[in-house]
Amino acid sequence: MPNGVSNRRSLDRASINDKELYAVHAEVKTNMEGRKGDASALADRQFVEAYPDKDRRMLLRKMDLHIIPILISLYRLVPGAFLFMTKWYAKFELATRFSIFYVGSALSGAFSGLLAYAFAQMDGVGGLAGWRWIFIMEGLMTVIVGVLIPFILADTPQGVRWLKKDECRYLVARMTLQNGGSGAEEIGHHFSWKLLWAVVSDWQFYLFAFNYYSNNIPTYGLKFTMPQIMKNMGFSGNNAQLMTIPPYIAGAISAYVFGRLSDKFRRRSYFLVIPQFLVIIGYSILTPLAPKIKQNMGACYFAIVLANIGLYPISPGSSSWISNNLAGTAKRALGLGYIAMIGNLGGIVSSYIFIQSEAPAYPTGFGTSLAFAVMGIIAATTLDVIYMRINKKRDQMSEAEVREKYTEEELAALGDRSPLFRYTL
């Protein structure tokens, strides 16, 4: 079910790119289009999830496209979904589960093209253009999923009826032991201003946020621009939609594979750095060849597929890493949200770097994406080195010495700063 939610929110996000192929520009005029196109006009959609298309349908008749997302919604689904999964799955099961959830984002790129093509065939029905039907039908699907969520998902194992008592006790005991005993997770379970300060003043959040940010710029930039890139290769509207599907499928498979490997080997940093290297290779191929993209169609298409293979494992990998290295439900919740808040600013940046007048070369877009992929590797490597040094320092003190110095309550209150806590590398 969480994966279905992810798929729906990402379909809504991707849908505006599809509409660019179905003449949305001709009907909805906005002063942003001439400079940057619809993607930048909807840059705020990084903060917009499933808003009602019934209302959007009316708004699109009257209002500037740029202002709509700001007026509708400002909440974020992903951090809450990831926090939800930390209450159900053990530490080294999270990367796989986060990846499965995030696969919805990659698959949305594939399915949004197919759905856009199908719904566009309704052009003229009810006196509405095909692109309006894309909005309406995809929004309706999102609303249906949203209505089902409260009846299907439960916050914790104790809140469901379909688990046997022994199964429920096992899940609760497993999570309790993982968190170091009953007190370890209860301390810091509720929000406080002190806890918020602990988050915003913690160095690790900024490195994680930058890693997330540096991935979102090339990810959303490519997602916003891919249909147009396919048109630049010479494909028509419908064929351009179909040609976007394989890169997203490759990204979905890659996210799952890297998540599984990360859990299997109990190592996070390696499975962030390797995908980031693939992104660098992809953009290194694409950047010099894009000015003559029609003549270099095969190499450029391969580069796009390779970039997607590298891009999609990074966000779930980064989120599972920070989840592993935070103790306390409230701190974990604040941390995931804080990182997403900063990281998703990259989505806004990405909508401004692919400048329509620079097509098909997009030197600003591809060059900026390449630079941020390099910086993402630097951030991940820095985190790994710092965590390694902290763990080594804590290893110098035995558990007996630690327990002699601190009470159980003090250790629980320290959370991930406890001498007994070891950071996942």
pLDDT score at 148: 84
Tokens encoding 50: 């499933």
Place 104 in a pLDDT band, splitting at 50, 70 and 90. confident
Per-residue pLDDT, averaged over 161-168, amounts to: 81
DSSP state of 350: H
Q: Taking all residues of the chain, what is their mean pLDDT, rounded to a whole number?
A: 79
| pLDDT surpassing 50 at residue 106 | yes
Place 24 in a pLDDT band, splitting at 50, 70 and 90. low
pLDDT score at 336: 86
The DSSP line for 179-225 is TTSHHHHHTT-S--HHHHHHHHT-HHHHHHHHHHHHHHHHHHHHHHH
Share of the chain above pLDDT 90, in %: 36
Inter-residue contact 309 to 251 (CB < 8 Å):
yes
Cis link prior to 360 (omega < 30° from 0)?
yes
d(C-alpha 265, C-alpha 271), whole Å: 10
Share of the chain above pLDDT 70, in %: 76
pLDDT score at 31: 43
Inter-residue contact 140 to 53 (CB < 8 Å):
yes
- CA–chain centroid gap for 17, Å, is 18
pLDDT score at 391: 95
pLDDT score at 260: 96
The 10s digit of each residue's pLDDT in 36-85 is 444 443 334 433 333 334 334 443 444 444 444 443 433 457 777 788 88
Give me the sign of the Cα torsion angle 280, 341, 415, 261: negative
d(C-alpha 214, C-alpha 379), whole Å: 9
Of 12-16, 61-65, 343-347, which gets the smallest average pLDDT? 61-65
**pTM (predicted TM-score):** 0.78
Per-residue pLDDT, averaged over 318-336, amounts to: 86
| pLDDT surpassing 90 at residue 332 | no
pLDDT score at 272: 95
Per-residue pLDDT, averaged over 262-285, amounts to: 96
d(C-alpha 90, C-alpha 323), whole Å: 11
CA triple 32-36-39, angle to 5 deg = 90
Per-residue pLDDT, averaged over 254-263, amounts to: 96
pLDDT score at 28: 55
The 10s digit of each residue's pLDDT in 372-408 is 999 999 999 999 999 999 999 999 999 899 888 998 8
Per-residue pLDDT, averaged over 341-370, amounts to: 90
pLDDT score at 140: 87
| pLDDT surpassing 80 at residue 254 | yes
Kindly list the domain boundaries of the chain, sorted by start residue: 39-182+192-417
Of 60-74, 321-335, 411-425, which gets the smallest average pLDDT? 60-74
| pLDDT surpassing 50 at residue 261 | yes
pLDDT score at 45: 40
The 10s digit of each residue's pLDDT in 187-234 is 445 667 887 888 888 889 889 989 999 999 999 999 889 989 999 999
Fold of 39-182+192-417: Growth Hormone; Chain: A; (1.20.1250)
Tokens encoding 312: 């999609």
